[in-house]
Amino acid sequence: MAKKNKLTFSKLVKKADRVCSEYIRRRDEGICCTCANKFNWKYGGDCGHWIPKTNSNWGARYDERNMNFQCQPCNRYKKPVDDYAAFMEKRYGKNVMAELRSQKVWTLERFANTRLGGDVLGEKDALLFIIDYYDEQLKELNKKKISPNRRRCDFAKAYKILRGCQKDFDDDNMTYKEETDKVGLISLCKEIAKEW
Ligand SMILES: [Zn+2]
């Protein structure tokens, strides 16, 4: 903690932006909120803000409802404001849009305490809190997501089991072995097959 505190305000902002961006891009799985096309979450887009991330909008900058995956052409050049508003209304509703508009003038401290359940004093502490908060979110998300490699292994295993070849399996690495898992296996196979 002490080490982190030595960072300047603007460095902490950059760090918070970075962790939020990764979390949002992974959360939305690369689907652009304004053109609905699918991109690689890692390289194909940005964390796009509905209420722009200017210095007068600190209270909305790190609200996860205000941050959504947006492809680079949409976020950087086209800037389809109407499409973003339509997306916001559909995904979160008018009340949330009104909330975001009214909270955008909040300080970071007020945002962290009110929206993220923090108990911080001052803007730098608020940023540290926000960074930790989204770090945690990201960890949770990573736990749930399966890497492409792992999915390929799962698919191979699932396929073998479905074909009734359980005996070929290395028991140590076996994730699915019971009959009761079959429904799950079939849906897993279908899901992975879609990605191929
Ligand atoms: Zn787009």
pLDDT at 180: 42
Note whether 51 and 104 are within 8 A (CB): yes
CA atoms within 13 A on the CB side of 139: 6
Cα(176) to ligand 1 centroid in Å equals 38
Strand, coil or helix: 68: strand
Burial class (CB in 10 A: 0-12, 13-18, 19+), 170: exposed
Cα(35) to ligand 1 centroid in Å equals 4
Most confident of 128-132, 163-167, 172-176, 183-187: 128-132
pLDDT at 176: 46
Q: Is the pTM of this model over 0.75?
A: no
CA dihedral over 53, 58, 62, 64, signed as positive or negative: negative
Cα(89) to ligand 1 centroid in Å equals 17
Q: Is the pLDDT of residue 59 over 70?
A: yes
pLDDT at 184: 64
With cut-offs at 50, 70 and 90, classify the pLDDT of residue 44: confident
Cα(93) to ligand 1 centroid in Å equals 21
Cα(112) to ligand 1 centroid in Å equals 30
pLDDT of 77-121, one tens digit each? Answer: 999 999 999 999 999 999 999 999 999 999 999 999 999 999 999
pLDDT of 124-168, one tens digit each? Answer: 999 999 999 999 999 998 887 766 666 666 666 666 666 665 444
Note whether 109 and 124 are within 8 A (CB): no
Report the candidate in 32, 50, 48 with the shortest Cα–Cα distance to residue 40. 32
Cα(34) to ligand 1 centroid in Å equals 5
Cα(83) to ligand 1 centroid in Å equals 10
Cα(80) to ligand 1 centroid in Å equals 9
Cα(46) to ligand 1 centroid in Å equals 10
